[in-house]
A and B are shown apart, each in its own frame.
Chain A
Amino acid sequence: MGFIRSYRLRLLRKRWRIRAFRKRRELRPVADRTKAIKKNDIIVFSTLRNERVRLSYFLRYYRDLGVSHFIMVDNNSDDGSREFLADQPDVTLFSTSHSYKRSRFGVDWLNWLQMKYAHGHWSLVVDVDEFFVYPFCDTRPLRALTDWLDASSIRSFGAMLLDMYPKGPINAEPYRAGQNPMEIASWFDAGNYTIERNKKFGNLWIQGGPRARMFFRDKPELAPALNKTPLVKWDRSYVYASSTHMLLPRGLNLVYDEWGGEKTSGCLLHAKFLNTFSEKAEEELRRGQHYSASVEYKAYAAALEDSPVIWTRWSEKYINWRQLEILGLMSKGNWA
C-alpha cells in the first residue's frame, strides 16, 4: 500500500464524511431520545421503509441481546412504521422523504447519525430483516462480546449475511407481526459461497447463497455481496463506504485472518424471503431506488412471476449458532 493510495483513501473518507454532513439536512427528528444514551450503551442504527409488520420482533430481538438504544431513519413509510417507532421508549426516530438512492442507499444518513451519536460507542448497523448471531449469543449478551473485543483491542466485527428461506413457496405462509421470522424462513445454503479479496479496501467480497443460486445463476458476478461488518466501536472519523460491506479507514475491514487462523465472526440471518417479499420487490422495482439500477430487484421480479421454491434437498435447517460454526459459516476464533 503506497503512500499515494492511502492518501487517496483518506481523501475519499473525508469526502464521504462531508457528504454525510451535508445530508444531515435531509433528516428531520421525529422523536429524539438521544439524551437517554448512556456512556457504554450499544446502539443499533437502521434505515427502513414500510416495515411495520417486522418492527416488533426486530426491536424485541435486539433488546433481548442487550441493545439499549435504537437510532432509526424512516424513509417515507406510509404503513404506520413511523408512528409505531415514535412511541417506543428506546428509539430515536428521524424521518426523511429524500431519495434513498441519492443518500447512497441510506449510508450517508447513517454515517451522519453515527458521527453524531455513536462516537465511542459500539454501533451495530442492521436492516430490520437482519438478525445478528454471534458465538455464544444464546448464553452471553452482546455486551460480553463487545467487552471482549475491547479487551482484545479489536475495533470491528464481521458478520456475513446468511439468506434464510422457507421450505415451500415464498408466499405460502404469511408472516404475522411479532413472530420470529426464522420460524418460517428457517432454511439456508450452507456451502456455496465464493470469496474474493477487494484489493482497494482490504475487505473480503463474498457472494453466493440462494440469491446467487436462484436469481443470478448465469451471472454470478452480479450476485449481491454478503460480507458485512455491522458491529464497530465507532469513532467519528469512520465512515461506511458502501452499505455495511466496507468501511474506511480500511483497517476496519480486516475482520479475517490471513495466516491460516480464524478470527471470531458472526452471521446476520437475513429473513428477506417471507411473503412480504414479492410485494416489496415490485414496489422497489417501481421506485428504482436500489443499488446498481436495481439489477437485483429486476432479477427478483423476473423470477418471482412463478412463485419459486428456493428450498432444495441440500438446504440446511437453522438450529443455532453452533451449527453455523460447525458448518464453517462463522467462527468462535479464540473466544472461548
Chain B
Amino acid sequence: MTVGIVMLTHGDLARSSEVARYWATSGCPVVIHVDKRVEQKPYAAFVQSLSDLDNVLFSKRHRCEWGAWSLVQASQTASELILREFKDIQHVYLASGTCLPLRPVSELVQYLEERPRTDFIESATTNDVPWTVGGLDEERFTLRFPFSWRRHRKLFDGYVKLQRRIGVKRRIPMGLVPHMGSQWWCLTRHTLSAILEDPQRDLFDKYFSKVWIPDESYYQTLARLYSHKIESRSLTLSKFDFQGKPHIFYDDHLQLLRRSDCFVARKIWPDANMLYDVFLHQNEADTKRAAPTPSKIDRIFSKAIDRRTKGRAGLVMQSRHPNHNWENGMTCAPYGVVQGLTELFHDFEPWLSRACEAEVHGHLFSPTGVEFLGDQDTYGGCLYNSLEARDYNPKAFLRNLIWNTRGKTQCFQFGPDDTQDITWMMAGDPNASISIVSGAWAVPLFNSNRNFSELRKEAARLQKIEAEHIKILTSHYSKARVNIWTMAEFIEAPMEPLQTIIDSMGARSKRRLTEAPRMVDLTGFGQFLQNLKNQGMHPYLMGDFPVGNDPKPNTPKRRKPYLVK
C-alpha cells in the first residue's frame, strides 16, 4: 500500500520536477498536471526531466485560473489517472508544485497506513468559517460566477450585485450540504473513487462549475457524502494572510518548519535553496529532531497579520499614517500632565520624580524653551530643544517623546502660557492623565514685580486660555483621565490630590506619600485676587479665596499616613 501524489503545477517547473522526483523515488506514484498556459517548450523539457521515472505520469492539461472550475477539472483528471494506473494506492494526496515535504515520505506512508479509512480534508460548513475573502460565504453556493475575479473584477462585482438585487438563487443539488476548506486534501481511494464515479457526477460538476472558488468546496462537500471518517484538517501546512493569499516560506523559516510537525508545507519560495536542500536530501537520522512546536508558526503569522491590520499603537511612521480616529492609540504608553503645581511648590519636579519614578520634565511646551528633564539639549530618540521644531508639529513631538521613551513613564508640566496645540490630542488620548490645579498661574503673577495693569491683562489672558483648556478636557470628547482641583480646594488639603496625581500616573511607588513638597508663600494672595476683582477682572478659576484669610504655607510637617482597610 502506498500514497499517490497528484501534483498541480503552473510555474517554476524546475522545483516541481525536483519535488516530483523526490516523491517518486521514495516510492510514491506521481501524476502531474501542468497548467496549459505553460508553453510547449518548457513543458516538454519538464516531461523530459522526469522521463527516467516510470511512476511519474502526466495528465491531460487544462487551462487553469485561480478560483475557477478548471482547477477542479485538473485535479479530477489527474486523480482518475492515478487511481486507474496505480492499483496499490490507498490514499491520494493533492499537492501543488510549490509544496515541500517536511518529513520523510516513509513517515507519511506509515501514518496513513495506520489510518486506512480516514480522509484528511478540511471541511466546514460556511457558517462556521471566518476566513472567507470578499464577503462571500453562503453566496458562493447560491449565486453564479461566470466572470473572473482576477481579470474582470468590475463585471464580477456587478453581476453579484445584480443577482442580489433581483434575488435569484441557485438551487443546491439534493443531498448536498455546502462545506468549505483548504484545497489541499488527502483522500482515500474509496472516497475519491466514489466522488469521481458518482452517477450524479455530471449534475454535481455542472453545479460546482458556477460556484465561486470550487476547489475549496467541491471535494470538501462531496467527501461528506461518502467518507467513513473525515478528519477535518489538511495535512499540508499552509498559512494565509489577511487577503487570503498564502504566506511564503524562506530559508530563514528552516527551524520553524523543522519543528512544525507537518508532513507537507506550502508555499515555498522557489529560490529557497536551503529549504529544498535540507528537506529533499535529508537522512532518516536527521529526523530525530527537536520537539515539534507547531504553534510557533501560528504565532508568527498571526502576529504578521496583526501588524498589517492593526499596527503598533502610538506609532506614526513612513508606512503607518492612520487617518483621524483610526490611530488605535494616539500614543503608545500612559503619561502624566501636571498643570499648576510647579507654580505652587518649591522644587516640585524633583519631588515628583522621587515620588513616582517617572521621568518628570518641566514645561515641554513653554514659549521660552523646551524644558527636558535635567535641562538637556536633546532627549529620547534625539528630540531636541528647538522651539521652532517643536511648534512645527507639536503633536508629533509629543507622540515621538512617548514612543521614544517606551518603558519609562513620562510626565511634564503644562500651563495656559504653553503652546495649546496639543490640547485636543491629549483630551482624546486615554493614555493621558491630566491633573490640573486651576488658577495656579496667578501665583507667579502675584510674586512678580510688574505693573498692575499689565498683570491684570496677563491674568485675563491666562484665565481665558485655561478655561478653554478645561472646557475641552471636560467635554464629552475627552477620553483622558482628568483631575481638576481649584487652587483653593487644593491648598486646603494638598496631600490627597498629590496622592491622586501620583496614582494616576500609573508608576506606583511602594509607599504612600509621606513627604510633601514645600508650598510657596501665599501671604497676601487673597488680597491680590481682590485687587484684580476691583479692577474689573474676575479671577474665578482658583476658587474662593477670602481676603485676609491667607493660606498658611505648609511647613514640611509630617502627616500621618492614613490607611483604609
Q: Point out residues on A near B: beta carbons under 8 Å.
A: 136, 139-141, 143-144, 147-148, 151-152, 158-160, 189-197, 204, 206, 210, 212-213, 217-221, 227, 255-265, 312-315, 327-336
Q: Is the CB of B319 within 8 A of A158?
A: yes
- Asked if B307 and A147 sit within 8 Å, CB to CB, the answer is no
Q: Is there an interface contact between B318 and A330, defined as CB atoms closer than 8 Å?
A: yes
Q: Decide: B245 and A152 in contact? CB cutoff 8 A.
A: yes
Q: Are A332 and B381 in contact (CB under 8 A)?
A: no
Closest residue of chain B to A204 (Cβ to Cβ) is B321
**A-B CB contact pairs (8 Å), 21 listed:** A141-B271, A147-B248, A151-B248, A193-B396, A196-B393, A217-B386, A255-B319, A258-B322, A261-B308, A262-B308, A262-B320, A263-B319, A265-B318, A265-B319, A312-B377, A328-B312, A329-B317, A331-B311, A333-B319, A334-B241, A334-B242
Beyond A152-B243, A194-B396, A195-B317, is A334–B307 a contact (Cβ under 8 Å)? yes
B250 adjacent to A144 (CB under 8 Å)? yes
A331 to B320, Cβ gap below 8 A? yes
In the complex the two chains form, what is the Cα distance from A208 to B303 in whole Å? Answer: 30
A60 to chain B, nearest CB (A): 21
Question: Given the complex, which residues of B lie within 8 Å of A262, measured CB to CB?
Answer: 307-308, 311-312, 315, 317, 319-320
Within 8 A of A (CB), among B37-73: none
A258-B381 in contact (CB<8A): no
Cα–Cα, bound, A259→B308 (Å): 10
- Contacts of A139 on B, CB cut-off 8 Å? 250-252
Q: Give bound CA distance, A160 to B400, whole Å.
A: 17
A220 and B304 in contact, given A195-B396, A259-B326, A334-B242 (Cβ under 8 angstroms): no
Cα distance A120–B390 when bound, in Å? 44
With A191-B404, A314-B382, A336-B303 known to touch, is A140 a contact of B241 (CB < 8 Å)? Answer: no
Nearest-neighbour CB distance to chain B for A260, whole angstroms, equals 4
User: Once the chains bind, are A204 and B318 in contact (CB under 8 Å)?
Assistant: yes
CB-CB contacts below 8 Å: B371-405 with A:
377-384, 386, 388-389, 392-393, 396-397, 400, 403-404
The answer to whether A190 touches B319 (Cβ under 8 A) is no
Find out whether the CB atom of A220 lies under 8 angstroms from the CB atom of B386.
yes
B477 interface contact, C-beta 8 A: no
In the complex, the answer to whether A260 meets B305 with C-beta atoms within 8 Å is: no
Bound CA span A264–B307, Å:
9
Query: For the complex, what is the distance from the CA of A159 to the CA of B245, rounded to whole Å?
Result: 24
Q: Is B328 an interface residue (CB 8 A)?
A: yes
Distance in angstroms between the alpha carbons of A240 and B312 in the assembled complex: 30
Residues of A within 8 A of B397 (CB): 194
Query: By the criterion CB–CB under 8 Å, are A260 and B326 in contact?
Result: yes
Q: A152-B243, A190-B404 are in contact. Are A261 and B307 (CB under 8 A)?
A: yes
CB <8 Å contact, B305 and A334: yes
Given contacts A260-B309, A336-B300, contact A191 B380 (CB under 8 A): yes
Name the contact of A213 in the complex, choosing from B247, B380, B382, B392 (C-beta under 8 A): B382
CB neighbours of B271 from chain A (8 A): 141, 143-144, 147
Within 8 A of A (CB), among B239-268: 241-243, 245, 247-248, 250-252
Q: How many residues of B contact A (CB 8 A)?
A: 52
In the complex, chain A residues whose CB is within 8 Å of the CB of B307: 261-262, 331-334
| Chain B residues with CB below 8 A from A197, complex form | 321
B322 near A259 with CB under 8 A, answer yes
Residues of A within 8 A of B251 (CB): 139-140
Interface contact B327-A260, CB-CB below 8 Å = yes
Min Cβ gap B201→A in Å is 34
Contact B380 A256 (CB under 8 A): no
A7 → chain B closest CB, angstroms = 21
Q: CA–CA, A42 to B378, complex, Å?
A: 41
Which residues of A sit under 8 angstroms from B403, Cβ to Cβ?
A: 191, 328
Residue of B nearest to A143 (CB): B271
CA distance A61 to B473 in the complex (A): 53
A258:B308 contact, CB within 8 angstroms: no
Query: B310 an interface residue at 8 Å Cβ cutoff?
Result: yes
Q: Give Cα A189 to B382, complex, Å.
A: 6
- Cβ–Cβ < 8 Å partners of A217 in chain B: 384, 386, 388-389
Residues of A within 8 Å of B304, CB to CB, are 332-336
State the CA gap A160–B384 with chains docked (Å).
20
Q: CB-defined interface of B315-352 with A at 8 Å, one 1/0 digit per residue?
A: 11111111100111000000000000000000000000
Contacts of B247 in A (CB 8 A): 336
- Give chain A residues whose Cβ lies under 8 Å from the Cβ of B86: none
Contacts of B328 in A (CB 8 A): 260
**B269 within 8 A of partner (CB):** yes
The minimal Cβ–Cβ distance linking A267 to chain B, given in whole angstroms, is 8
Contact present for B388 and A218 (CB under 8 Å): yes
* Chain B residues, Cβ within 8 Å of A159: 318
State which residues 290-304 of B face A: CB under 8 Å.
300-301, 303-304
CA of A170 to CA of B393, assembled, Å: 29
In the complex, what distance in Å separates the CA atom of A279 from the CA atom of B384? 28
CB nearest to B380 among chain A residues: A314
Measured CB to CB, the nearest residue on chain A to B394 is A194
Q: Do A260 and B310 touch (CB < 8 A)?
A: yes
In the complex, which residues of chain B have a beta carbon less than 8 angstroms from the beta carbon of A158? 318-319
In the complex, what residues of A have CB within 8 A of residue B305's CB?
334
Question: When chains A and B are docked, how far (Å) is the Cα of A212 from the Cα of B389?
Answer: 8
Report if A334-B308 is in contact (Cβ < 8 Å); known contacts: A191-B381, A260-B328. yes
Instruction: Give the complex CA separation of A136 and B253 in angstroms.
Output: 11
Q: A262–B271 Cα gap in the complex (Å)?
A: 27
| A196 contact set on B, CB distance < 8 A | 393
Q: Which chain A residue shows the least CB distance to B391?
A: A220
Distance in angstroms between the alpha carbons of A192 and B397 in the assembled complex: 7
